[in-house]
Amino acid sequence: MSTLLEVSGVSVSFDGFRAINNLSFQIGDAELRAVIGPNGAGKTTFMDIVTGKTKPDEGHIIWGSMSRSLIGMSEAKIARAGIGRKFQKPTVFEEQTVQENLLMALRKDRGPLAVLFFKPSKPDLERVAELAEEIGLTDALMRVSGELSHGQKQWLEIGMLLAQEPRLLLVDEPAAGMTPAEREKTTAILVEAAKTRAVVVVEHDMEFVRRLNCKVTVLHEGAVLAEGTLDHVTKNQDVIDVYLGR
């Protein structure tokens, strides 16, 4: 499996506090990875650095088969290069239907006129139907998004990101506030998405991480403390001391 994203020797400080400390991380083309760690471990800052929201003080971030450096690229350019991010709180257009939300998210010419005069083509509608099936919202396509449950809004937002055909999807605490049935469905959506792209899930919930059944990276004080299967990292004494023993 070829490496899609390689972060090496990255550090970043805020007012003298080292949020990320000589961090190295890599993920392959079609891989699911969970990132865990105590509060303040650098999980959010790690995602901020990869998406261009925060500029590192040192280190390298290399992307894709062309080995492009992401450092210095704008957030919009990084998104266009194929990195999608889902924040903890879903941001969907509440007044629009599920179908309209997904249509707006498709990779298209996004000039103001194009948006104004956008008429979905047959392939657009077929792609939206595919996405709706993937995220379990086929029956809700014509519903106004504001009426959806919390879990359904999360799935819709994942669908909107998938509509942009990202090669790497960064997902922040997708299981928060979900019912057990919704969490199970979320697991299935992420596992399926990772068959054709890289998916990084930042999560606190160990049960959810166990269900993902993937390699786990444990962050602590801005660096990688351990990496491996969940069983492997949860037996690691350092991990027990800083994270699980709390």
Q: What is the CATH number of the domain that holds 182?
A: 3.40.50.300
Domain residues for 196?
3-244
143-168 as b/e: b if 16+ CB within 10 A: eebeebeebbbbbbbbbbbbbbebbb
Q: Is the pLDDT of residue 22 over 70?
A: yes
Contact present, 202 and 44 (Cβ < 8 Å): yes
CB atoms within 10 A of CB 83: 27
**Helix or strand holding residue 171 (H, E):** strand 168-172
Helices (H), the chain: 43-50, 75-81, 98-105, 112-116, 122-134, 150-162, 180-193, 206-212, 230-234, 237-239
Smallest Cα–Cα separation from 154: which of 133, 175, 139? 175
pLDDT at 114: 62
pLDDT at 1: 67
pLDDT at 11: 96
Per cent of the chain over pLDDT 90 is 75
Q: How far apart are the C-alpha atoms of 130 and 145, rounded to whole Å?
A: 18
Q: Is the pLDDT of residue 109 over 70?
A: no
Smallest Cα–Cα separation from 91: which of 166, 172, 36, 165? 172
Quick: pLDDT tens for 23-39.
Answer: 999 999 999 999 999 88
pLDDT at 66: 83
Average pLDDT of span 88-116: 80
How many separate domains does the chain show? 1
pLDDT at 40: 86
Angle at 47 between CA 45 and CA 52, to 5 degrees: 95
Q: Is the pLDDT of residue 106 over 60?
A: yes
> For the chain, how many residues are written?
246
**Inter-axis angle of helices 180-193 and 150-162, to 10 degrees?**
10
Chain center to CA of 130: 20
CB atoms within 10 A of CB 28: 13
Q: Is the pLDDT of residue 110 over 80?
A: no
Q: Is the pLDDT of residue 153 over 90?
A: yes
pLDDT at 39: 86
Confidence of residue 70 (pLDDT cuts 50, 70, 90): very high
Quick: pLDDT tens for 161-213.
Answer: 999 999 999 999 998 889 999 999 999 999 999 999 999 999 988 899 999 99
Chain center to CA of 9: 22
pLDDT at 242: 84
Which of 117-121, 143-147, 234-238 shows the lowest mean pLDDT across its residues? 117-121
Q: How far apart are the C-alpha atoms of 134 and 84, rounded to whole Å?
A: 17
pLDDT at 117: 66
The mean predicted confidence, pLDDT, of the chain is 91
Does this model's pTM top 0.75? My answer is yes
Confidence of residue 65 (pLDDT cuts 50, 70, 90): confident
